[in-house]
């Protein structure tokens, strides 16, 4: 009986030790692993740094809890993504509430949707010039950001990309952007000035919804539509710098939620739309070419006349 009990205790002890070893190994694995076909991650609890190495795209997670480092998301203070990584996946760093710095490689071309949503204390995210796509809500609810993270290669600002970024006071959207989607800057309550680039044809629904301190906006002549509630909740909007003519401005359809535009003082580039900034430049080029052509023709005529005289 004693021998049987002794054997039982031995087996129980072995089982307990095995379980402890398994837990230890599992814990070690939880601080590193794969996050893409050729991408790996590791987390240093001592420094709070999450490091991503390898190459190619990081995995898209459609819920932040799917990220393998989710258990440490509130402890991540810095992120370093190594050269070779081309995409930050969807929801990769969502709600990293302690994140204060991000280092990104020149190989990066895309930031997935919701990637940094809810990173509440980070003040700056510098994107490398190689980035050409930013997903929806990628930087939404980042109230400490002072400037919007964007590059000259980005052509579309997707839905809610910078919504509720309450620390931003001025926005100058790069010339490469041709479309701004719904509620892109909604809730940026401290935004005071916005400059939209030439080429944008529409200000979509809710673009500047509840930007309570917005005072002035520059709208290019290329805009032919302003969506519902695009400027709703912007009681301080007093100046609109429209780069077309008064007639073109009057032809933009009026929709609900933009009554403040009727109260704002609108200035126009020129009554003659052909003399607008870009249009004027095109006209100048045409005139120069025409004058040059006339000059060449005159020179040719003089040469012909001289040849005729010399024959006589």
Nearest to 279 by CA among 179, 203, 199, 177: 199
Exposed/middle/buried for 107, CB within 10 Å: 0-12, 13-18, 19+? middle
CA distance 304 to 121: 77
Exposed/middle/buried for 229, CB within 10 Å: 0-12, 13-18, 19+? buried
Nearest to 182 by CA among 158, 155, 202: 158
pLDDT digits (tens, 9 = 90+) for 169-191: 999 999 999 999 999 999 999 99
- Report the pLDDT value the prediction gives residue 298, as an integer from 0 to 100: 43
pLDDT digits (tens, 9 = 90+) for 225-282: 999 999 999 999 999 999 999 999 999 998 899 999 999 999 999 644 444 444 444 4
Average pLDDT score over residue span 25-43: 82
- Report the pLDDT value the prediction gives residue 15, as an integer from 0 to 100: 54
Average pLDDT score over residue span 100-126: 98
Does the pLDDT of residue 125 top 90, yes or no?
yes
């Amino acid at each position: 009986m004693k021998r049987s009990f002794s054997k039982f205790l031995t087996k129980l002890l072995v089982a307990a030790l095995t379980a402890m070893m398994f837990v230890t190994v599992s814990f070690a694995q939880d601080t590193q692993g794969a996050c893409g076909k050729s991408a790996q991650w590791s987390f240093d609890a001592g420094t709070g740094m999450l490091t991503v190495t390898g190459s190619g795209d990081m995995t898209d997670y459609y819920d932040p809890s799917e990220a393998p480092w989710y258990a440490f998301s509130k402890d991540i203070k810095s992120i370093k993504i190594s050269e070779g990584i081309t995409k930050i996946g969807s929801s990769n760093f969502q709600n990293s509430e302690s994140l204060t710095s991000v280092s990104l490689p020149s190989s990066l071309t895309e930031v997935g949707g919701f990637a940094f949503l809810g990173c509440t204390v980070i003040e700056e995210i510098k994107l490398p010039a190689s980035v050409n796509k930013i997903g929806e809500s990628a930087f939404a609810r980042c109230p400490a950001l002072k400037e919007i993270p964007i590059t000259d290669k980005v052509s579309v600002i997707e839905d809610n990309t910078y919504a509720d970024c309450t620390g931003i006071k001025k926005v100058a959207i790069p010339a490469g952007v041709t479309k701004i989607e719904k509620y892109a800057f909604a809730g940026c309550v401290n935004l005071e000035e916005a400059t939209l680039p030439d080429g944008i044809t529409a200000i979509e629904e809710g673009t500047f919804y509840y930007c309570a301190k917005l005072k002035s906006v520059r709208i290019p002549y290329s805009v032919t539509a302003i969506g519902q509630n695009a400027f709703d909740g912007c009681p301080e909007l007093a100046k609109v710098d429209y780069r077309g003519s008064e007639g073109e401005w009057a032809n933009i359809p009026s929709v609900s939620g933009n009554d403040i535009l009727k109260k704002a003082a609108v200035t126009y580039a020129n009554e003659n739309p052909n003399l607008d900034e870009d249009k004027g430049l095109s006209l100048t080029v045409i005139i120069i070419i025409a004058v040059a052509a006339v000059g060449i023709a005159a020179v040719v005529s003089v040469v012909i006349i001289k040849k005729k005289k010399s024959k006589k």
